[in-house]
A and B are shown apart, each in its own frame.
Chain A
Amino acid sequence: MNEPLFRYVLRLGDLSLVLGQRLGEWVGHAPALEEDLGLANVALDLIGQARLLLTYAGEVEGRGRDEDAIAYLREHGEYLNAILAEQPNGDFGQTIVRQVLIDAFQLELYERMSTSTDERLAAIAAKSVKEVRYHLRYSSGWLVRLGDGTEESHARVQSALDNLWPYTVELFAEDELDRLMAEQGVAPRLDEVHAAWSARIERILAEATLNRPKDRPHSWHGKRGQHSEHLGYILAEMQHLQRAYPGARW
């Protein structure tokens, strides 16, 4: 088995899966029906990405695990998403801030990955990036409205941005696996993705009249399976049915 590729595909798939699961928590609770539908649709696309990626991870692994076995039957430490994705929804503004930060990341990553030397990842990225553009259009549209809105909405999204910003550092912290994937042409170089992300985020924050927080050294290692306590609660809910009724299907 190509262990590095397996782990890399899990990083991508888990980011989409965990964020999709988080957004699903809004169903029935969003501030308006339109936002309920909007967040649920983004969640659906993210889970669609996760299905394609985790299916591929299972094939790379070659032990007969399908998307469901990988999504529902792994433990906490086997999830390789950056921990920004698992941060709580908070209020609507905090959800939107988290979404803008990750949408812009996926946009810059997938655009470059659509020419990957790995044909399967190239196809998944080229397909997904079209949808991610709409995710960012939605999330950034809201961030501008909230940031450049009332005193209250501005204060709330600025505070969410200050709280979530430190976690973005992990998205771009290149480790050996990221370097190896870039050398093989499987993935783009993270410093390139970072520069493009940074420029895009700057423009959105300027329009939203928000201040960009300072980057600080990070000590998060979700990409290596070290998670915040939040992931455990997400998995408890997401995996409950498969754990209680193994093999249950719709």
Chain B
Amino acid sequence: MNAAAAPVIAERISLAWDALAAVDDPEIPTLSILDLGLIRGITPRADGILEVGLSPTYVGCPATDVIRRSVEEALAGAGVGGFVVTTVLSPAWTSDWITAEGRRKLDLYGIVPPEHSTASLRDVRRMNRPIACPRCHSTDTDCISEFGSTPCKALHRCRTCLEPFEYFKCI
């Protein structure tokens, strides 16, 4: 890579980040994939191709293929030049990577953001701190099911205001 190419590459990387910031999660459209912490990095290769590392959230999540396609379309549309999207399994994605902005957006959307850090996950059977209702903030709630409308969420119910709500599981 010659010296003159460096600023061009920096500009392409910055264009790429802007493009990625506009890609929303198909299941929780209030969040961008950057809010979810799905992009591991953008690295220029020696041949000038940008390598974009993408982490899947859950191994079987059907949104993964859609997200990948949206990422490719966004990057192509932004004119970032040659790029390749690679799947990064390791280190495995964790809900700890959801940004502060992402947590704020989840909360506003009515989905309770993950309560715990994954450090407490050695034995999830013992992990039963009450989750506060996003509407009335009562902690008199219970879990109806560990699995909700998507793999990443559990279904809960508030016993004070009687409304059901979703909780983004920590993983």
A209 CB, nearest partner CB in chain B, Å: 17
How far is it, in angstroms, between the C-alpha of A168 and the C-alpha of B149 when the chains are bound?
A: 32
A30 CB, nearest partner CB in chain B, Å: 11
Q: Cβ of A181 < 8 Å from any Cβ of B?
A: no
Known contacts: A130-B171, A133-B121. The answer to whether A47 contacts B147 by CB under 8 A is no
Known contacts: A49-B60, A133-B124, A136-B125. The answer to whether A44 contacts B146 by CB under 8 A is no
B73-116 residues at the A interface, CB under 8 angstroms:
89-94
Binary per-residue interface labels of chain A (23-42) against chain B in the complex, 1 for a CB within 8 Å, 0 otherwise: 00000000000110110111
With both beta carbons as reference points, the residue of chain B lying nearest to A123 in the complex is identified as B90
Structural contact, B59 and A52, CB atoms closer than 8 A: yes
Binary per-residue interface labels of chain A (100-122) against chain B in the complex, 1 for a CB within 8 Å, 0 otherwise: 00000000000000000001001
Q: Cβ of A240 < 8 Å from any Cβ of B?
A: no
Structural contact, A127 and B59, CB atoms closer than 8 A: yes
How far is it, in angstroms, between the C-alpha of A131 and the C-alpha of B147 when the chains are bound?
A: 11
A219 CB, nearest partner CB in chain B, Å: 33
How far is it, in angstroms, between the C-alpha of A37 and the C-alpha of B60 when the chains are bound?
A: 14
A-side contacts of B146, CB under 8 Å: 38, 134, 137-138, 141
B118-164 residues at the A interface, CB under 8 angstroms:
118, 121, 123-125, 144-149, 151, 155
- CB < 8 Å neighbour of B125 from A40, A47, A119, A140: A140
Q: Cβ of A61 < 8 Å from any Cβ of B?
A: no
Structural contact, B125 and A141, CB atoms closer than 8 A: yes
A-side contacts of B89, CB under 8 Å: 52, 123-124, 127
Structural contact, B92 and A130, CB atoms closer than 8 A: yes
Which label, helix, strand, loop or mixed, suits the secondary structure of the A interface? helix
Q: Cβ of A99 < 8 Å from any Cβ of B?
A: no
A-side contacts of B145, CB under 8 Å: 34-35, 37-38, 138
The size of the chain B interface, using a CB distance under 8 A, is: 27
A10 CB, nearest partner CB in chain B, Å: 18
Q: Cβ of A225 < 8 Å from any Cβ of B?
A: no
The size of the chain A interface, using a CB distance under 8 A, is: 31
With both beta carbons as reference points, the residue of chain A lying nearest to B94 in the complex is identified as A130
Q: Cβ of A45 < 8 Å from any Cβ of B?
A: yes
How far is it, in angstroms, between the C-alpha of A40 and the C-alpha of B148 when the chains are bound?
A: 10
With both beta carbons as reference points, the residue of chain B lying nearest to A41 in the complex is identified as B147
With both beta carbons as reference points, the residue of chain B lying nearest to A129 in the complex is identified as B92
Q: Cβ of A180 < 8 Å from any Cβ of B?
A: no
A162-214 residues at the B interface, CB under 8 angstroms:
none
Known contacts: A47-B60, A52-B59. The answer to whether A126 contacts B151 by CB under 8 A is no
Q: Cβ of A54 < 8 Å from any Cβ of B?
A: no
B108 CB, nearest partner CB in chain A, Å: 25
B-side contacts of A127, CB under 8 Å: 56, 59, 89-90, 92-93
A214 CB, nearest partner CB in chain B, Å: 26
Structural contact, A41 and B144, CB atoms closer than 8 A: no
B139 CB, nearest partner CB in chain A, Å: 20
Structural contact, A131 and B90, CB atoms closer than 8 A: no
- CB < 8 Å neighbour of A48 from B60, B121, B123: B60
Structural contact, A128 and B147, CB atoms closer than 8 A: no
Q: Cβ of B17 < 8 Å from any Cβ of A?
A: no
B-side contacts of A97, CB under 8 Å: none
Structural contact, B124 and A45, CB atoms closer than 8 A: no
Structural contact, A46 and B147, CB atoms closer than 8 A: no
A101 CB, nearest partner CB in chain B, Å: 16
Structural contact, B147 and A37, CB atoms closer than 8 A: yes
Structural contact, A45 and B92, CB atoms closer than 8 A: no
Structural contact, B151 and A41, CB atoms closer than 8 A: yes
Q: B: which residues have CB within 8 A of A?
A: 56, 58-62, 89-94, 118, 121, 123-125, 144-149, 151, 155, 169, 171
